[in-house]
Structure 1
């Protein structure tokens, strides 16, 4: 069984409306793989939408949790878990409050983050991947040094970060593994989230976030090598804790669907005794988590 089939609480299913580009990609983005479902939801969605949202909060929640539309279109569940968690996450984004998805590894934080961004903004690629070496420029902005040396500081020499682009375009930015980023770099987000502005002192300018901008971060506090969030930064987020599956049967069902989807994407033959191995792996992971 591949390592990537580790138990998670998300259930990805390919969409019939996936784009040609997404169909050839080894791992298409959510807005590519589920383009058909997103389009069907947009066509049926007559509810009010926040500024620059592609779907209403109701449609975003339906996209994550699954359901059947009035025209008979089946929306596959992207997250299997308490409905209340998805509702709180969507409501947080609709009220311009930044969202922090917190949980141990295997709770589908990244998966939920990606699908929320895809449903809200139609683009899940404005991503900052947090590591111990993530610099401040990854969150704020960098410079094209050839242009900087030739012409000095200017807008043409500035290289916007994904967060800066999201602010200017009213999109949803994502920061993965926030607690792996050094604490001084984490705090770069404080001004962005509280003042909704990003100063550019070299140019004597600033970028003000337009309506529709928001940020989704993921983090866990169980692994080694994590950096605690400052109280000032944590207050800027609404934190939603993603739980592990409630029962072994629920986890087996989730992993079975994930393995089937991975097998189809890699053109692997079906394993006749796969369920036995899945139950064994799920049992091992649950026993390890329980100590």
Structure 2
């Protein structure tokens, strides 16, 4: 009889202890259970549980550049485009004039270089074909039709027949060199075409750019004075855009000067060969007593 009440008391104590531990565990889990349905991200996650975190990271990485894209898309406020958009008629006219000067300089450089290359090719043809001909007339026929050497040779041949009227008062030995020299002068004048433009551009374009700079700085200072703000961010843009004019003027002038000096030196070498040819041609025609055939 004594064991049964003790067993019953032990059993009651054990049940009470289990009830206490169960109550504490229930209280510990109680705050987590109501917060789960209140999470805002729970209804917006239709994807699989394993793919939720990578998608979230990828969306964050895509969102970051998207937020910075407007900043990178802003145009340079200190560039040439800003200079053109913010300038007036005078400044734009200066830019257009400098553009025409630059385009003309490069065009003349390319054209004159091709012309000089053609002259050198014609000079090689003279060495191969003209001096091996039996007569001056045959030598002229062997040259290219658009050759300057052929033009000079034809002038020498024509001088032997075109010696009538008042020209007959000029001795033949003087008339033939005069005709050949006149043809050489025409060739030299043709070779000099365009070089004056290069010299003009090389000497004036820096001052044209400087005029644009002064005009731009004047308007920049006027705008700053009207606004009443002379901070560095207000001054750097307009003044820097105006100084671009000077840089453009130098960029136009330097190639023009270099091209002029280079082409003039090549022209001198070519004309030396032309004059040598004319002297030899004159000696041949005069030595044959005017008989070019």
In the superposition, the TM-score normalised over structure 2's length comes to 0.20
Larger radius of gyration: 2
**Higher-helix-fraction structure:** 2
In the superposition, the TM-score normalised over structure 1's length comes to 0.20
